Structure 1
Amino acid sequence: MADAQWARTEPLLPDWTPKWGGRWRDHRQVIDAVAWKSQRGSQWVHLPAGYGSWKGVCTRLRNWAIDGAWERVFTALLAQADAEGDLDRVVSVDSTVVCAHQNAAGACQKGPRPTSPTTMRSGAPAAA
Structure 2
Amino acid sequence: MSHVALLLLRIGLGSVFIVHGTHKQRLWKAQPSAQMPAGMLNTLRFLSIAEPAGGLGLLFGFLTRYAAIGLALVMLGALRFLITKVHRKFTGDAAGWEFEYMLLIVAIALALLGGGKYALDRVVFGM
TM-score bin (small chain): under 0.3
TM-score, structure 1 normalization: 0.27
Q: Greater Rg, structure 1 or structure 2?
A: 1
**TM-score normalised per structure 2:** 0.27
Tell me: higher relative CO, structure 1 or 2? Use CA pairs within 8 A at least 6 residues apart. Answer: 2
Name the structure where helix makes up a greater proportion of residues. Answer: 2
